[in-house]
Structure 1
Amino acid sequence: MRKIILLFIIFACAITWAEDDVVLAPSIVPPAMAAKQIAPGVRYLFTIGNSLGACDPSTPKEMHSDFCRSEREYGEDKISGFNARLDINLYNITWPKTENTEGAENWYGHTFGGGMFLTTHYSIPLEIGISPIIVQWLGPIYVGAAYDLSFGHYFGYNRERKGYNVNYTYHFDAGASTNNFSGSLNLGGGTMFFMNNHGLAFGAHAGLRQLHIINAGENLNGNPATRFSYGYKLHKWIFYYGLEFANYSNLPLLKEANQKQHFFSIMSYEMGLHTETNPVIYWSFSFSLLL
């Protein structure tokens, strides 16, 4: 497990420092599962994941929105950002109150379960933030909202020209950096189908979220020399949909319902709706653990 986490950190650092930075609000899926209380008694929520946001390079320039027109000089380096982040739940309130947190036979969770959550996150390389989240189940579906406040110190690049042709290489440059405070909103809802006797669940969700891409600036051979020398901060509203697979420990037929220390794990994937009027590529993959 330690080797997997170490490899993820190394991979995340390499990708993050090779791209601009993406800032966005957390997913509402893990809090929704905690509010459902299908695995009663869980209180600690951790999510590790990554996200990518970019302008589709195959979209003709005349069809680009204002979000995508700010390509770097010569148009050879497209706008694209990446993030790798860890979210940790600090405090939550769920309703209605569960009397038996160790579980009960034929436990199906609360039909109208809901909750308020406060989470914090750290994103590589130097970004921290805090997010209030609220979710509410209405029978088989849930709705929710998350708002993220982030502050980060973002690093840029040193662009080195190769010969007389327009051929550049980019290197991480701590000298090109910027501080930025941003807020982003995520509104969405979804559903989850629980296979209680097998401890498996499958779900789908969709919504509207704010996506920020931050470029800290770049130097040409060590000297600010382009119109992007001082970077840019772009934001876009995008529609998205997602799928998830979950595993939880409340298994009545396997005599595990009355055990303490239930858990809930979720693998979730999101993708933005890419249209001609919204030429933005977005995807996100995350793994969540509730203990």
Structure 2
Amino acid sequence: MTGSARTTSDDRGVGGRRSGRAALATEAYVAHRNLLFTVAYEMLGSAADAEDVLQETWLRWATVDLDAVRDQRAYLVRITTRQALDRLRALGRRKETYVGPWLPEPLLTAPDVATDIELAEHVSMAMLLVLETLAPIERAVFVLREVFALDYEEIAEAVERTPAAVRQLAYRARAHVAARRPRGTASPADTRTAVTAFQRAVTTGDLQPLLDVLAPDVVFLGDGGGLARAALAPVVGADAVAAVLAAGLGNLRARAMELVQVNGYPGLVLRLDGQIDTVLAVHLDDGLITGLYSVRNPQKLSGLRRSTTLRR
């Protein structure tokens, strides 16, 4: 009887310690969750896949001996990076059969993202499309170094390479991105002006104010994923983009439009019968629209119920 009572007491002690460790693990994970989501989203360009990566990160983190962890933030970033790399390689195979242009899954971002100019630029549609042209390992190194300012030793642990190899990967990735990145960073105010011109053109039927801010080499990309009507190839040049916009004016007018923050910059959400039908983002260079990005794939719009907080 006495032995039985002593065993129960011991069990309570073990259970209490486990409960305490679980609480500490949860507290650390929650404290860094927005950062981890931002790492995963930057690497994947997909909020849904980033959330899946965070689930995997939590499952692995919950089994870690916290006493052996020197830097919880770095350890969590390491887990997230490795999971995101695995998923990024799988996504590459999926994109090979994607119908039409692929665009990142848009985020409705919290207002404070726009105040971090560097972060807003890195999560913009234009920059995420540039990152898509990197190899998975290069993308991981670029994101961890350029966006989150991790040192080479930390990155080396996350991507399972030597610091010397990481330096070479970072150099190559920077050069690759520099050759392809958007020419300039537009201010939120200029972007808002361009988005408002689009909104006014749809509302009034007068396209001229919008055409006045289209760059000669503007590119329009529409992502329907084979599930919604969209251009199956990039539309290039002001005249061609103007023709597409003019042809779709009637359909656009039937949709309610709301000015929102999309990936750190002003953009538009278009609703049909109360449901999100399209998210429109733009990129500007020297005050002119060089990129118009229309996401209509319903699988990429289902999570747009609230704004997302991103952190570095």
**Which structure is higher in helix share?**
2
Q: Which has the larger radius of gyration?
A: 2
TM over 0.5: no
**TM norm structure 2:** 0.19
**TM norm structure 1:** 0.20
**Which structure is higher in strand share?**
1
